[in-house]
Amino acid sequence: MVADDNGTGLELEMPTKEQLSEWYAEVGITPDGMRRDINHLKNWMSRQPHLPHITDDVVYERFLFGCKNSLEGAKLKLEQYYTARATMPEYFANRDPLDEELREALKTVCYVVLPRLTSKGYRIIICKMFNHDITKFKPNLLFKGALMLSDMTRHKCQSNGVVIIFDLYGRTMAHVASVTFPMLRNVVHCIMSAFPEHMKGFHIVNASGYTNTLITLGKSLLKDKLRNRIHTHSKGVATLAEHISKDVLPAEYGGTYEHNMVKLRDFTYELLVRQRDWYLKEQSVKADLTKKVEGKKEERNIFGIEGSFRAIRID
């Protein structure tokens, strides 16, 4: 378990060995296959002059699982992940959880991790605003904190997928306007293209009239598979229980979990703080694009990455 050292007794639920075996079997991962593929990825990474030489097997294991046991998918994600770390310093540099500006920003609005996994092994994250003062809203730091949390939960406490609840209560046009297109583009790229997460659902609660219009427009531009994973709850939070068990959700969202969102926000921040040494060490692990060598066209597959091709399955 990843426990909270501040005496609250909170901890993140971890999957059992039986659960992990079941999840891995669902995507065709076997122990022998995992060892073989980790070695393959290590060798591949060592031949890429611009990519860091990662020796931690857990990194490769998580990328393989997140990419549904696709070697080429894992290579693509590893390439994009470490490139993003090099090209988006606003999210991947200066990742000190004790930074006062970051701490204050995450008190205002935060991606809060819920301790319990769902019956399917999904990790629930709630994006909630705790202070509506626009002068305290720092979207770049909000996104940085969210990506820091994603990195930590993936590496330290695995799940079978992520479900995000976006609570739009208190959001105004001023808040929306403060999120620039480059900010949004980069964070969406990280979540959808560079991070090996299984995004299992998006739930939107407390949306106003104009945000409902924007959500409807946005959904119309998405593919059916992703569009069907976005749920808007227009009559309060009660309908969340149709998708997420009440024992996972705090009372503010119609659940029975014993701790409220303020305590869960503080717990989430403590999780970041307790991994401070890890963040400070790994923030320098990124691509060196000055060393990137473009392969010959005939040596590259459709993703622009060399290596053996195994069919990619889409989650």
HEC-encoded secondary structure of the chain = CEECCCCCCCEECCCCHHHHHHHHHHCCCCHHHHHHHHHHHHHHHHCCCCCCCCCCHHHHHHHHHHCCCCHHHHHHHHHHHHHHHHHCHHHHCCCCCCCHHHHHHHHHEEEEECCCCCCCCEEEEEEEECCCCHHHCCHHHHHHHHHHHHHHHHHHCCCCEEEEEEECCCCCHHHHHCCCHHHHHHHHHHHHHHCCCCEEEEEEECCCHHHHHHHHHHHHCCCHHHHCCEEEECCCCHHHHHCCCCCCCEHHHCCCECCCHHHHHHHHHHHHHHCHHHHHHHCCCCCCHHHCCCCCHHHCCCCCCCCCCCCCCCC
Q: At what angle do helices 71-87 and 57-66 cross, to 10 degrees?
A: 110
Quick one: 278 exposed, middle or buried, by C-beta within 10 A (0-12, 13-18, 19+)? middle
Among left, alpha and beta (phi > 0; psi -120 to 50; other), residue 152 is: alpha
Place of tokens 């889409």: 314
> How high is the pLDDT of residue 222?
65
Residues (pLDDT < 50) of the chain are 1-7, 296-314
Phi then psi dihedrals of residue 19, to 5 deg: -65, -45
CA distance 64 to 250: 32
Under 8 Å between Cβ of 270 and 6? yes
Strands 230-233 and 199-205: parallel
> How high is the pLDDT of residue 210?
63
CA distance 145 to 151: 10
CA distance 217 to 206: 17
Beta-carbon contacts of 223 under 8 Å, excluding residues fewer than 6 positions away, are none
CA distance 291 to 49: 6
pLDDT digits (tens, 9 = 90+) for 176-195: 889 888 898 899 899 889 99
Comparing CA positions, the residue from 253, 158, 159, 160 lying closest to residue 204 is: 253
Place of tokens 């909630």: 128
Residue 184 vs residues 3, 179, 180, 272: alpha-carbon distances, Å: 32, 7, 6, 23
Query: Which pair of tokens denotes residue 216?
Result: 């409807």
Query: Which pair of tokens denotes residue 2?
Result: 């990843």
> How high is the pLDDT of residue 286?
97
Listed in order, the ranges of the chain carrying CATH 3.40.525.10 are 95-277
CA distance 11 to 74: 30
Q: Which amino acid is at 160?
A: N
286-295 burial: b if 16+ Cβ within 10 Å, else e: bbeeeeeeee
CATH architecture observed for domain 95-277: 3-Layer(aba) Sandwich (3.40)
